[in-house]
Every structure is written in C-alpha cells, then in structure tokens.
Amino acid sequence: MTLRVSDIGEKELVKYIIAHSKDITPDDTAITNFNDTNLISTCDMLIQSRHFPKNMSYFDMGFKSVTVNVSDLAAMGAEPLGFLLSIAIPKDLNVDSFKEIIDGVINACDFYEIPLIGGDTNEASEIIINGTALGTAEKPLMKDTYNMGDLIAITGDIGLAALGFEIETLDNIYTKKALKPLARIREGLILKDFATSATDITDGLASELYTIKKDDFGFMIYEDMLDITDEYKSLAGDLNLDYLDLVLHVGEDFELLFTISRDDAEKLPIDFKVIGEVNDSDVIELTLENGFVERIRNRGYEHYVSE
C-alpha cells in the first residue's frame, strides 16, 4: 500500500525533514550562532482558501502574514530584526486589493517594529503569502526546558478565535480575534528573563502541550483556571459546538504558552493566567470543573490530514 501525505499529516513530514538535516533545531524557529548572539529565523506560508476566513479583509490578510511569523519570534524571546515577504497572487486580482494586502503588511511591520526588508512576487491561482521573520536572542526560550513542579501559564484568553471563525457577525471580540490576531512580542521579550520554556498557541492548546511534552513529564490542566465564561459556553452551545473542543483543539489565538517556577511567577511583570502544572504522570490531563479527570487528546489543526 502506498502511503500518502494525508495518511500521516504535517507533523510527521516535519519530523522526517528534521531527522535528515543535522542543522535544524526542532523548536518554534531556527537558531543560528551569529556574531556572539543567535540569529532567530522563521517562515510561515498562508494560503487564501486554508488560512483566511471568507470575511477577512485584504488588509487583515497582510497583517496576519506578519503576525504568524512574529509570534514565533515572541515564543523564543527574540528581538525583531527584519521581515521578508513573498507573495503570489492571481493575475486578475484588483490592484487596489493587492495594495490593501501590502498596506496590512506594512502596518503590521510598524506595529511590531520589524522592518520590511525584501521579498518576492509571483503568480498563483489564489493568494499565497509566505513571510520570513528574523530576530536575535542571546539565550532563546526553548519548548521543553521546563522543570518538575513548574506552573503552566498563558498570556491571555484562548479559544476566542476558534469561536470567532464560527460567528458571522463582525462586531464581537471573538470575530475580531479571528480576523486580526496579535502576536505577543512584548511579552516574549519579558518572559525570556523569567520563563523556563515557551511556545505559541497556533494549532490549539492540546496540540502544543503534546509538542512540548518530554519523557517522564506530564501536565495537569485545570478547566476552572481557563476562565471560560458563561457567554462563551452559551454561544458555543447555540452553534452546537463543544466549548472545550474549541478551547483545546482549534488554536489561532497566538497567545504564548509558557512554564515558570512558582517563585518567578510572583515576580513576572505582565498579565498572565496560570492554567496548570508540570508533574511526573507522563500523561496530559484535564481536571474538569466537576472534579473528574480526563486525558486530553492529541488533536489540533494539521495540514494534509483529511477532515
């Protein structure tokens, strides 16, 4: 039987690439020793039919293409250095629409204080935006350098974008989060001096927890610490959706997931939310509001896998 990419998914493809290249760092970004520091580099490709909701403006498409890359820099605690933009567009796209995309890119670069320094253009049947972000970090934050007993925390609410993708109206916090997420670059620069590990939440909390898990360590997450509002639960119910499924398995929030010692948590000068702790259970679990404990499934958004 011939194995197809849809049979194994994106993460297995990435594992194959990493296994066959001794120079790749299996973290949020590449890390390259450079002039007594580390060059932090990352790239992310966004395809119109896969990554941009139908009600997303061209401006927000451009803005998001910067955000997804800067979010990786934030997860490493890196100082932004420069942004490269490669964009492919249909030949019948309106010039004004193209200008809107570029305006979104430039606006985002100004917002994150990362200069647009170059790129490439090409033709495609739909809009494809590939960004590359560069930064520097003397001591990058890694994904799996946590310790037993560390607290697990996030920089803000999660699940908002997941619900926003399902809501048609625009004037609400959920849709706004889905259409214009923001990277936590300022928080990342502060966390590098306090956190023991970090990553950003793109494919869902559950997926990210499994990505950072190492042998002999486990995580306990507490539902009541996630602060899921009654409004959120009600809206999800109206849409016949499981609110925990949205919070755990969808992603696109671009909040930072990090671990920190209890002592340093008391000193951390940013807003954050403790949601659990690192233990020695070797499994990833969720304590529900009713006190029952269940395993968190390893599931999140993944390219190539059929729905």
In a shared domain, residues 161 and 126 = no
In a shared domain, residues 155 and 290 = yes
Q: How many domains does the chain have?
A: 2
In a shared domain, residues 268 and 159 = yes
Q: Look at residue 304 and tell me if it is in a domain.
A: no
Asked which of 136, 159, 183 is the last residue of a domain, the reply is 136
Report the first-to-last Cα separation within the chain, whole angstroms: 21
| H-type alpha helices, the chain | 5-8, 10-19, 48-51, 58-76, 95-112, 160-164, 173-179, 185-191, 205-212, 230-238, 243-249, 262-265
In a shared domain, residues 169 and 117 = no
Q: Look at residue 305 and tell me if it is in a domain.
A: no
In a shared domain, residues 110 and 35 = yes
CB 63 within 8 A of CB 102: no
Q: Look at residue 144 and tell me if it is in a domain.
A: no
Nearest Cα residue to 170 out of 159, 178, 162: 178
What CA–CA distance (Å, rounded) separates 146 from 217?
9
In a shared domain, residues 126 and 200 = no
Torsion sign (Cα): 110, 112, 115, 118: negative
Nearest Cα residue to 130 out of 32, 51, 18: 51
Residues in a beta bridge with 140: none
Q: Domain containing 192 — which CATH number?
A: 3.90.650.10
Q: Look at residue 301 and tell me if it is in a domain.
A: no
Q: Look at residue 29 and tell me if it is in a domain.
A: yes
Q: How far is CA 125 from CA 47, 57, 101, in A?
A: 10, 18, 16
Q: How many whole angstroms from its chain centre is CA 133? A: 14
Q: Look at residue 251 and tell me if it is in a domain.
A: yes
In a shared domain, residues 115 and 220 = no
Range of the domain at 42: 5-136
In a shared domain, residues 254 and 281 = yes
Q: Domain containing 104 — which CATH number?
A: 3.30.1330.10
In a shared domain, residues 15 and 117 = yes
Q: Look at residue 181 and tell me if it is in a domain.
A: yes
Asked which of 136, 159, 188 is the last residue of a domain, the reply is 136
- Per-residue pLDDT of the chain in tens (307 residues, 90 and over written 9): 788 877 777 767 777 877 777 666 765 799 999 889 999 999 999 999 999 988 899 999 999 999 999 999 999 999 999 999 999 999 999 999 999 999 999 999 999 999 999 999 999 999 999 999 999 999 999 999 999 999 999 999 999 999 999 998 878 999 999 999 999 999 999 999 999 999 999 999 999 999 999 999 999 999 999 999 999 999 999 999 999 999 999 989 999 999 999 999 999 999 999 999 999 999 999 999 999 999 999 975 444 444 4
In a shared domain, residues 180 and 108 = no
Q: Look at residue 73 and tell me if it is in a domain.
A: yes
The pTM score is 0.90
Asked which of 87, 104, 136 is the last residue of a domain, the reply is 136
In a shared domain, residues 120 and 214 = no
